[in-house]
């Protein structure tokens, strides 16, 4: 073979390889991490974690996790952010768990926890009391029934109107469509009701890990040894799959727990637990501008102790002084615990750490030089303000995108006092007013209060003082 033929063959091989996308591909970076806190061990079989963030005191946030009970009944555990046990609920075989905020129930805005009950073919709903930081059940007397052997669960808050849904997957082999979408709503009886509104996901394998991007409107569902399926989360949209990824040949074993690290600018990461590989795989929240549904592997997370499992959760928000930039929670299957990893130590110099919330104390002219794309919450004006005659204080805020917005006033204990805004709003500048009364019209006491703006993945809080 002469030199020209050899060169031609090499070039042809490279060209074919480049078309296949696997020649000269760089292996993903590996991030070695170590946990800084752990929960106490569950009694039997730890599985899935969730995080509830306290509205006014991040250090009072909670980790909520399931013991699915392989040899016992299991139960639902609630821990403080230092890992100490706060509450145990003896419910039979909860599998997966998720949290959402501000569901209107009997005239009150409640933060709720949903759990899939593996042996009961139903979902159970609990509210979180921000004062006691404990859970109590508020499921309707009519059970929220789903397909047999419910397995994975995640919730979804629709951005355009705040409607709340749960997605539940079934492990039963007889169901062609593996995922059911359940509409959840509160009634005046103080309970949460639900009904199935659609089914999707014709998969042969088992779907367990699921997560929804509330802001962008996508459901991600992990099918064992196949990959991650991407769907529209809104039931008004088609049920056809948008994308399949995390199916690269180098992915060893099953895809399990999923979690989303989300920043206010719509960037972030999808994390995928890979227990057979003792790792967490990292994919971009969105692909490049010309291919938004292309999610290529970015990095692999491993821990120094080789502690690993199927359950996963992450947040970009502060949850304590020791976790000011967010936290990743990773299930430790062998020790039956959940390990806490500060996000900035996970990200190192490779992944993004979401920008810290502004500490600006600008008043009425807070938006003078602000970009229209920014989210802002100004200091109320006047502050302090006196509750005399018709006096009110004005709160100005800017939304960078249209969508569901909530503006609430809280007392020092983190209890909601007054809901000022709870509706779909357009992008741009808005104003709200507070007259020193609660949701029932009663005059509240003087002192320090907090007000918080929530819009999809954006959250910001400020203090104000009410005088007599």
Q: What is the pLDDT of residues 28-50, one digit of tens each?
A: 899 999 999 999 999 999 999 99
Residue 410 pLDDT > 60, yes or no?
yes
In a domain, 404, yes or no: yes
Tell me the C-alpha distance between 201 and 242, whole Å.
11
Mean pLDDT value of segment 207-228: 96
Other Cβ atoms less than 10 A from the Cβ of 14: the count is: 12
Query: Which single residue is written with the structure tokens 């039931």?
Result: 235
Q: Judge if 311 and 403 occupy the same domain.
A: no
Q: What is the pLDDT of residues 441-463, one digit of tens each?
A: 899 999 999 999 998 778 899 99
In a domain, 151, yes or no: yes
Q: What is the pLDDT of residues 234-275, one digit of tens each?
A: 999 999 999 999 999 889 899 999 999 999 888 999 999 999
In a domain, 415, yes or no: yes
In a domain, 49, yes or no: yes
Q: What is the pLDDT of residues 155-185, one digit of tens each?
A: 999 988 899 999 999 999 989 899 999 999 9
Q: Judge if 253 and 399 occupy the same domain.
A: no
Two structure tokens written together for 267: 């960037």
Tell me the C-alpha distance between 450 and 448, whole Å.
7
Tell me the C-alpha distance between 129 and 119, whole Å.
27
DSSP string, 168-203: EEE--TT-SEEEEEEEEEE-TTS-EEEEEEEEEEE-
Q: 3-state DSSP call for residue 410?
A: strand
Query: Count of alpha carbons within 13 Å of 120, Cβ hemisphere only?
Result: 16
The gap between the terminal CA atoms of the chain, to the nearest Å, is 96
Count of residues in the chain: 468
Residue 18 pLDDT > 50, yes or no?
no
Q: Judge if 170 and 284 occupy the same domain.
A: yes
Q: What dihedral do alpha carbons 370, 374, 377, 379 form, nearest 10°?
A: -20
Q: Judge if 421 and 342 occupy the same domain.
A: no
Q: Judge if 115 and 182 occupy the same domain.
A: yes
Dmax over Cα atoms in the chain, in whole Å? 98
Residue 312 pLDDT > 50, yes or no?
yes
Total domains in the chain come to 2
Q: Judge if 159 and 196 occupy the same domain.
A: yes
In terms of pLDDT, which residue wins out, 403 or 180? 180
> Domain of 236?
29-347
Angle 317-320-325 from CA coordinates, rounded to 5° = 40
Whole-prediction pTM = 0.82
Which candidate, 48, 58, 43, places its Cα nearest to that of 133? 58
């Amino acid at each position: 073979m002469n030199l020209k033929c050899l060169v031609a063959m090499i070039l042809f091989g490279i060209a074919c390889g480049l078309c296949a996308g696997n020649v000269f591909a760089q292996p993903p970076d590996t991030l070695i991490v170590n946990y800084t806190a752990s929960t106490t061990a569950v009694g039997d079989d730890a599985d899935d974690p969730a995080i509830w963030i306290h509205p006014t005191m991040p250090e009072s946030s909670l980790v909520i996790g399931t013991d699915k009970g392989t040899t016992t009944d299991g139960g639902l555990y609630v821990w403080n952010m230092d890992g100490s046990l706060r509450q145990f609920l003896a419910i039979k075989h909860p599998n997966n768990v998720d949290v959402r905020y501000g569901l209107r129930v009997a005239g009150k805005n409640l933060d709720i926890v949903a759990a899939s009950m593996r042996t009961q073919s139903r979902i159970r709903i609990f509210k979180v009391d921000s004062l006691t930081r404990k859970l109590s059940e508020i499921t309707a007397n009519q059970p929220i029934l789903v397909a047999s052997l419910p397995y994975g669960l995640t919730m979804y808050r629709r951005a355009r109107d705040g409607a709340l849904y749960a997605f539940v997957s079934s492990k039963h082999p007889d169901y062609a469509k593996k995922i059911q979408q359940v509409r959840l709503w509160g009634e005046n009886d103080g309970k949460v009701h639900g009904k199935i509104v659609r089914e999707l996901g014709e998969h042969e394998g088992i779907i367990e890990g699921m997560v929804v991007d509330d802001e962008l409107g996508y459901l991600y569902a992990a099918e064992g040894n196949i990959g991650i399926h991407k769907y529209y989360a809104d039931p008004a949209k088609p049920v056809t799959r948008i994308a399949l990824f995390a199916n690269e040949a180098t992915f060893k074993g099953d895809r399990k727990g999923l979690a989303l690290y989300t920043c206010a600018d719509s960037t972030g990461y999808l994390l995928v637990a890979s227990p057979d590989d003792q790792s967490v795989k990292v994919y971009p929240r969105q692909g490049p501008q010309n291919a938004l549904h292309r999610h290529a592997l970015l990095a692999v997370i491993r821990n120094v102790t080789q502690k690993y499992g199927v359950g996963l959760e992450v947040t970009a928000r502060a949850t304590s002084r020791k976790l000011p930039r967010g936290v990743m929670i990773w299930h430790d299957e062998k020790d039956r615990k959940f390990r806490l990893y500060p996000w900035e130590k996970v990200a190192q110099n490779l992944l993004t750490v979401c920008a810290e919330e502004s500490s600006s104390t600008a008043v009425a002219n807070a938006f003078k030089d602000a970009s229209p794309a920014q989210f802002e919450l100004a200091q109320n004006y006047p502050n302090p303000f006196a509750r005399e005659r018709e006096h009110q204080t004005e709160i100005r805020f800017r939304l960078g995108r249209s969508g569901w917005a909530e503006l609430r006033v809280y007392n020092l204990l983190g209890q909601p006092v007054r809901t000022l805004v709870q509706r779909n709003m357009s992008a741009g500048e808005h104003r709200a007013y507070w007259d020193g009364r609660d949701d029932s019209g009663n005059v509240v006491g003087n002192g320090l209060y907090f007000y918080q703006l929530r819009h999809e993945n954006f959250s910001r809080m400020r203090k104000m003082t009410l005088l007599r």
